[in-house]
Structure 1
Amino acid sequence: MNQVQKSGHQCSFFGKYGRCKEAAESGSQLCFWHDPEADKTGDDVKTRLEERAGKGLPMEGFILRKANLDNVNLVNHGSGKPYQLVNCDLSRASLCNGHFYRVDLSGSRLLKANLSNANLHRANLDGCNLLGVNLKNSLLDHVQWGDRLYQEREAAANPENAMALFEEAEESARNIRRHCENLGMMRTAGHFYYQERVFHRLQMPKYSRQRVFSYLVDRVSGYGESPLRVVLFSMALIVFCSFIYLFTGVQGGDTVVRFSQNQDLFQNFRYWLDCLYFSVVTFTTLGYGDLTPLGLSRIVAACEAFTGSFSLALFVVLFVKKMIR
């Protein structure tokens, strides 16, 4: 005879895995794990949770606020799939030295939870609220952080609270980035640094000078985290300027290289290749002198040369930064 039969009624909690199969607490419609009024601060909660995990059933929506779960072991040592502790409330819970290898914690609330010295290797933290979580000395290798932070998703669904949520998202990204830097996980740290800067930008007044400038820095270099963006920006600028030179004209000896409707397509294409060559040598500040700008082309060439010298220096800095990491 199971617990439900003994108590007379089943827990009324219903989630994505169906209805909870635990027996409801006396005087409540919810079981011990789902009842927010049940005392979870006792020393026996850790043992009970480990025993519950051993049943192999999903642990969804558990209310474990402020629970003392130090040294809890939720690693499935059998051949089955990892334990699931999904969409749970672990706010301010003490999870020090916990073992969460491959545990699915997706969607859980870890607000100011203490996960210091915990093993989160390959754990799934997708959609978790990680605001203020303590990850000091935790093992964070191959953690599944998800594509977006919890606050970012909430901001998309609640635009009226977007500013406060972006501020929380920035704080969460900064916290994770610092812990990853301390662990030498520079690639993950770089990812969260980028997110930190994006969330900071989204808090700026729309169309303000600071926000526009921050957006341009993002597009050009990914806030210093993407040398590839610098390369793509450089290539796009070179091609763009080549078309300007084609229509404004450059001087090559006695010939003016310029687009004309009176010329056939092949000749205009050859002139564009000459302009592309001129754009490359201008961007890289080589300046061979075989082609010279005319009229408005001189202003464009000066701007391109300045931008090119800056972009090349930026690429070298970012590339070396990535290599050192």
Structure 2
Amino acid sequence: MAFAVELVNRTPFAAATHVQPDADGQEVLVAMFSASFEAPSQDAELKPAEIQLPVNFGDVPFGNPVLSSTRYEADIAPVKPSAEVIVNGTAYAPNGKPVKEMQVGLRIGDTRKVLNVVGDRVYDSGNYSAPHPFRTMPIVYERAYGGSAPDGSVVDRHNPVGVGFHHFPSADHAVKTQAPNITYPGEPFLSPSDRPRPAGFGALGRGWQPRIGYAGTYDQAWPLPPKDFDARYNLCAPADQQLQRFSGREDVSLIGLTSTGRWDFRLPAVVAPLRLIYSDRVEDHPFRADTVIIEPDIWRITLKARLAVLT
């Protein structure tokens, strides 16, 4: 049944609504909230950002939508079964001096993650060269292990845009390395036979493994969601960046992901109750953040929240 929705937003943040059917064809109202904060410097207090990251109704890629990994995923998922954190960032060599290899790290609450970052390498006479020194390195899946044949005949389903799989180049033509720049510690890429996990801090593609395995079976009921859809499909962060929930005041540390070498802050507490006014009643619901997006290059973090209501 169609219904009218009027959204009144009395916060400095972004908000929007979206109506979509569930697997039974019943309409679901999804109210979405996006609160961005920024710090002008490493030690400054986080304050509401002058430019707010909007509520996104579609995925936003880093580049060509067909050939690029995802910068921001759409916010229209009605529910996320757990919380997750995304980091869209760059590795910065200590003190701006070129290095061949370094580590970068993320800590949020009790969750910790470290990645290795190495310079560009080329393959010649059966071996990879020594890494070329670098000052900065984007942490994107185009620089992690994976790849696809130019004609699409062979694809690494875990990371189709990466580099090194069957010697395939990165989907990003600006990436010249022939070996991954980003790997997990203990999983180096030293020969073409190595098969490390795709490593990164960003959003995994909707069609990538293992995420696509939760999408369910699309049959004659399409365009309704499948009956066997698993809400874990709505989680775009790597599994090691998923948390049970956010308490609202987690301490966060980023190592090697800013020009200063380190950024420590505490997630801001956001109080933004949602009031639903029906013809016969009023309901108040709290917004609880389920997604944190950290962008250390611009000293910005964004908390995302949602509420789904059957109509």
Higher helix fraction: Structure 1 or Structure 2? 1
Q: TM-score range with shorter-chain normalisation? A: under 0.3
Higher strand fraction: Structure 1 or Structure 2? 2
Find the structure with the greater CA-based Rg.
Answer: 1
Q: TM-score, normalised by structure 1?
A: 0.21
Q: Relative contact order, CA 8 A, sep 6+: which one is greater?
A: 2
Q: TM-score, normalised by structure 2?
A: 0.22
